[in-house]
Chains A and B, each alone.
Chain A
Amino acid sequence: MATTEENGDAVRDLARLRAREGGFRGWLKRTADSDVWYSFKTSPVAVAASIVSILMLLSAIFAPWIAPTDPFDLAQIDLMDSELPPAWMAQGDPRFILGTDDQGRDILSTILYGSQISLLVGFASVLFSMAIGIPLGLISGYVGGRLDAIIMRIADIQLSFPAILIAFLIDGIARGVLPRDLHDELALYVLVFAIGVSGWVQYARTVRGSTLVEKNKEYVQAARVIGVRRGPILIRHILPNVLGPVLVIATIHLAIAIITEATLSFLGVGVPPTQPSLGTLIRIGYDFLFSGTWWITIMPGVALIVLVLAINLVGDWLRDALNPKLR
């Protein structure tokens, strides 16, 4: 039994060694051979969800080029076009596929520009959380002792409060510390800071757990024996080996960060209306819900749901694919 396993390992190692030859093509080959890619190929939900995610990401990035109109260019909008229903409804106008809002802006265009802001804040918040959580987790797990106890105690306390509440508080404090006009200018940064700080604990705990396992393995001991210092061991040896679970958390966290941003913006403490995100658009439209012009709020809402659902599905699949227990 043991020998066949070892044989299998040896064969796989040989394949990997061979695939390692040749830069990019080698990488492609290795990717195509991997278990993860196989599991991706055979999961229609994962494929569909990632296609939707990538499409939405691309359309957000290229919003200035593909949006039918520039909703923030006053010369292009006409108040006479305001509150038109979507094109397929009775009074719809074919120029505005998803209708227009109260100021005559094309809703499809505002959604494209809005998802740009939402995704920007989402990605930046995730990176910010990682930048706090991963180093703290590495240090906590590797150094241990009192430092570990302090970091993890703080993490525990923060974890007993919902992340969104912490984001609210940080935003509120920022409002108190910064003068009002400066706050509006810095609103995006404040949001990224608030959402980022509210999410670091997950990364720290996961990385700490993996670091505890990795630090007793032979390769780390070997590095220590030949005199590699603590910093390089953490960054060059341990870090690459603990990033797998981080990727899963980051994907699901991206969905959460986008929802949090939308929620804060909807409640009026997020991005200012001059730079509307999807949440801000929903907030603007909410005022018109009762007058029957439902599309102003529902259309950005649907865009938000599709985006978050797609990212969540990719995250779910990734979690299962990288979990060796489920293979």
Chain B
Amino acid sequence: MFSFVVNRFVQSVLVMLTVGLIAFAMFRFVGDPINNLVGQDTTAEQRAELRESLGLNDPFYVQYARFAVNAAQGQFGQSYFHRRPVSELLVERLPATLELSLVAAVLALVLGVPAGVYTALHRRGVLSQIIMTASLFGVSIPTFLIGIILILIFGVMLQILPTFGRGEVIDLGWWTTGMATPSGLKSLILPALTLALFQLTLIMRLVRAEMLEVLRTDFVKFARARGLRTRSIHFVHALKNSLVPVITITGLQLGSLIAFAIITETVFQWPGMGLLFIQAVIEVDIPVMAAYLVVIGFVFVLINLIVDILYFVVDPRLRVDRGAAGGH
């Protein structure tokens, strides 16, 4: 177990260094950083001086090392477009994205797991058929269209929910939250639903497939033969054993939630990191793009690591197998 964790940790660090390298290469070679910092009337000497003082003449690996050390401390330089430190922008936008993603993840799990269990237990039921058909639509409708349809129904036709922004936000100094005011909560409903829907269908289909698989196994038959109550078989024996892949996929999907938040945030003008990123792509604001890549990369690597460790906690068989095979 210990060697596995160390192994995975080293791998994560390597991935982060690679992501950092890509981000740095973008930062350094896409466009000229100097041109983006100074105006038209700067002389060639001043430019050369600035180039020297910023260390842009140093060898590549020295510059990369400096970039990596700065990035590890959260320093990503100045945004070309906003003319402010990128770290400030990120800290400002992070709470909005995290609140949105977490609420969406909770929604997807709370609705997805029971729906999956239900459709697995009542395979031929009418409600199951309806849920399964609806989920096929859920997979086929792009996130931004779900947002548009929800806006049309609840914002334009019924006019009961706000369709853009975070509503009233309370500033806690290090964190801004929209979850403490009525307008903030109302503003959260549509974006969170939009973001959750795709993950919800995915989790539901996964739970259903896994449950069906587990219900066919011998130990469930044996549990039935022992005369255990159906409910305890379904929920204690079957559900528990179908959760391992669910945990993996959900964990990995949590990362993609943050990526898909780019789309949702644009549709709902939600002032989070995704909106910042898409503006950066449109305005070719390389420092912001590089910083976003590093931050998101870090989140993904962290999630991957946690999921891998959770495996061991949930499934005792792995500990034996992996141990016998000499680690990962």
Residues of A within 8 A of B140 (CB): 255, 305, 308-309, 312
CB–CB A305/B31 < 8 A: no
Q: By the criterion CB–CB under 8 Å, are A282 and B145 in contact?
A: yes
The residues in B between 139 and 157 inclusive whose CB is less than 8 angstroms from any CB of A are 139-145, 148-149, 151-152, 155-156
B266 contacts across to A, CB distance below 8 A: 267
Query: Does the CB pair B301–A259 fall under 8 Å?
Result: no
CB distance from A135 to the nearest CB of B (A): 23
Asked if A289 contacts B152 (CB within 8 A), the reply is yes
Whether A165 contacts B284 in the complex (CB less than 8 A), given A177-B30, A301-B145, comes out as no
Q: Is the CB of B31 within 8 A of A176?
A: yes
Q: How large is the interface on B (under 10, 10 to 19, 20 to 34, 35 or more residues)?
A: 35 or more
A127 in the interface (beta carbon within 8 A): no
Shortest Cβ distance from residue A157 to the other chain B in the assembled complex, whole angstroms: 6
Interface residue B137 (Cβ < 8 Å from any Cβ of A): yes
Given contacts A263-B143, A267-B266, are A301 and B148 in contact (CB under 8 A)?
yes
Task: Answer yes or no: B270 CB below 8 A from chain A CBs.
Answer: no
A169 with B293: CB separation less than 8 A = yes
The residues of A that contact B18 with a CB separation of less than 8 Å are 157
Q: How many residues of A contact B (CB 8 A)?
A: 37
Which B residue sits closest to A283, measured CB to CB? B144
Closest to B22 in A: A169
Partner of A157, one of B15, B139, B142, B262: B15
> What separation, in Å, do the CA atoms of A301 and B142 have in the docked complex?
9
Say how far A122's CB is from chain B's closest CB, in angstroms: 13
Asked if B296 is an interface residue, CB under 8 A from chain A, the answer is yes
Rounded to whole angstroms, the CA-CA distance of A298 and B137 in the bound complex is 16
Q: How far is the CB of B244 from chain A (nearest CB, A)?
A: 19
Closest 10 CB pairs of A and B: A176-B30, A172-B281, A309-B140, A162-B256, A162-B259, A165-B259, A259-B142, A176-B284, A308-B140, A301-B145
Interface residues of B (CB under 8 A from A): 15, 18-19, 26, 30-31, 136-137, 139-145, 148-149, 151-152, 155-156, 163, 252, 255-256, 259-260, 262-263, 266, 277-278, 280-282, 284, 286, 289, 293, 296-297, 300-301, 304
Interface positions of A (Cβ within 8 A of B): 157, 160-162, 164-165, 168-169, 171-173, 175-177, 255, 259, 262-263, 266-269, 282, 286, 289-290, 292, 294, 297-298, 301, 304-305, 308-309, 312-313
Q: What are 29 A-B contacts defined by CB distance under 8 Å?
A: A157-B15, A160-B300, A161-B300, A162-B259, A162-B260, A164-B259, A165-B262, A165-B296, A168-B278, A169-B289, A175-B281, A176-B31, A176-B284, A262-B142, A263-B142, A263-B143, A263-B144, A266-B144, A267-B263, A269-B281, A282-B144, A289-B152, A290-B155, A298-B152, A304-B142, A312-B136, A312-B139, A312-B140, A313-B136
